[in-house]
């Protein structure tokens, strides 16, 4: 288990159950989904700790397992079971968005860390500057395209976190989808033959969806040697990742305990 006992009856999670009378926040979106495998209760506990600390309203959405052959067979694809399970999990979230009619939804995977002032960043530096026709918004990404001197950010130059049209981001650990965007993704995700994040880039390259990327990322992926990726088995993806200015997990004392285990 990831969570180190503070004493015989208390975990890190227990420290951060906040006593607040404020309604939980969805960071200005209609809904926040957290994709989580039912058997990864360790990750769910960590995400609930983050939700409690920031007073966020997380809706835990059951991910499709690579072993759920019956469900996976309903979606034609040449992907490996691990990557196909990831694709189908996100696809089912898009279906949920359309079913509920959410105009804007934030989709998080359960291996994330985020800036401690995430509320201010999103509500003050991001949402007011989004164009009305946005369809995808990446609050966290990897392999985003470079920034050139001629690039002009949508939210000006006064903020540390800047919005750019596209930049063709990769990874699906933290992105928002509009209702129109979700409908477009359901129509475009057919016979997916490459990992879902790369397929989304393919749709962007084709000009079939409007994407906005926040650079640098305000939400990053996090995993360690004792908390490996459920999708990639490559050792290089199981390293301790830390690139935030004010990491929530770091401030909660979570990362130091993990770092000691990694050595």
241 pLDDT above the threshold of 50: no
Instruction: Say what the pLDDT of residue 42 is.
Output: 92
Average pLDDT over residues 146-163: 83
User: What tokens does 7 get?
Assistant: 């004493």
Alpha helices, H only, 189-226: 196-205
pTM for the predicted model, two decimal places:
0.85
**pLDDT confidence of 20, banded at 50, 70, 90?**
low
Q: Average the pLDDT over each of 41-45, 146-150, 165-169 and give the range with the smallest value.
A: 146-150
Instruction: Say what the pLDDT of residue 152 is.
Output: 87
Average pLDDT over residues 144-159: 78
Q: Can you give the residue ranges of every domain in the chain?
A: 5-262
Cα angle 55, 50, 234 (rounded to 5 degrees) comes to 150
**pLDDT confidence of 3, banded at 50, 70, 90?**
very low
Pairing of strands 31-36, 59-62: parallel
Asked, as a colleague might, if the bond just before 216 is cis with ω within 30 of 0, I would say yes
Percent of the chain with pLDDT over 90: 68
Q: Are 142 and 169 in contact (CB under 8 A)?
A: yes
Instruction: Say what the pLDDT of residue 224 is.
Output: 54
Q: Greater confidence, 3 or 188?
A: 188
Token pair 């990726």: residue: 229
> Which residues make beta-bridge pairs with 178?
104
Average pLDDT over residues 173-194: 96
Calpha distance 110→185 (Å, rounded): 22
227 pLDDT above the threshold of 70: no
Q: Are 263 and 257 in contact (CB under 8 A)?
A: no
Comparing C-alpha atoms, which of 253, 242, 105 is closest to residue 180?
Answer: 105
From residue 248, give the alpha-carbon distance in Å to each of 29, 38, 39, 86, 219: 20, 24, 24, 25, 10
Instruction: Say what the pLDDT of residue 69 is.
Output: 94
Average pLDDT, the chain: 84
Instruction: Say what the pLDDT of residue 116 is.
Output: 96
Q: Are 223 and 229 in contact (CB under 8 A)?
A: yes
Q: Average the pLDDT over each of 7-11, 36-40, 203-207, 242-246 and give the range with the smallest value.
A: 7-11
Cα angle 59, 229, 12 (rounded to 5 degrees) comes to 60
User: What tokens does 30 get?
Assistant: 């209609």
Q: What is the CA radius of gyration of the chain?
A: 18
**pLDDT one-digit tens code per residue, 70-96:** 999 999 889 999 999 999 999 999 999
225 pLDDT above the threshold of 60: no
Average pLDDT over residues 174-195: 96
Average pLDDT over residues 135-154: 81
**pLDDT one-digit tens code per residue, 95-109:** 999 999 999 999 999
**pLDDT confidence of 246, banded at 50, 70, 90?**
very high
CATH topology for 5-262?
Spore Coat Polysaccharide Biosynthesis Protein SpsA; Chain A (3.90.550)
Q: Greater confidence, 25 or 167?
A: 25
CB neighbour burial string for 163-182, b if at least 16 within 10 angstroms, e if fewer: bbebbbbebbbbbbbbbebb
């Amino acid at each position: 288990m990831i969570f180190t006992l503070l004493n015989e009856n208390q975990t890190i999670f227990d420290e951060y159950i906040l006593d607040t009378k404020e309604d939980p926040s969805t960071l200005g979106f209609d809904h926040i989904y957290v994709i989580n495998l039912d058997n990864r209760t360790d990750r769910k506990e960590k995400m609930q700790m983050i939700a409690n600390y920031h007073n966020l309203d997380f809706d835990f959405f059951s991910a499709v397992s690579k072993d759920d052959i019956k469900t996976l067979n309903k979606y034609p694809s040449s992907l490996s079971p691990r990557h196909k399970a990831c694709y189908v999990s996100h696809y089912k979230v898009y279906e949920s968005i359309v079913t509920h009619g959410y105009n804007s939804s934030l989709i998080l995977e359960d291996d994330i860390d985020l800036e401690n002032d995430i509320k201010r960043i999103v509500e003050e530096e991001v949402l007011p500057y989004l164009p009305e026709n946005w369809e995808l918004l990446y609050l966290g990404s990897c392999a985003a395209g470079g920034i050139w001197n001629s690039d002009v950010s949508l939210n000006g130059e006064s903020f540390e976190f800047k919005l750019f049209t596209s930049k063709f981001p990769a990874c699906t650990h933290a992105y928002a989808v509009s209702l129109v965007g979700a409908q477009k993704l359901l129509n475009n995700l057919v016979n997916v033959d490459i990992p879902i994040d790369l397929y989304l880039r393919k749709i962007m390259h084709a000009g079939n969806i409007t994407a906005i990327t926040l650079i640098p990322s305000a939400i990053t992926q996090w995993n360690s040697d004792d908390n490996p990726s459920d999708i990639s088995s490559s050792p290089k993806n199981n390293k301790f990742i830390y690139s935030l200015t004010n990491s929530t997990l770091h401030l909660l004392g979570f990362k130091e305990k993990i770092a000691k285990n990694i050595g």
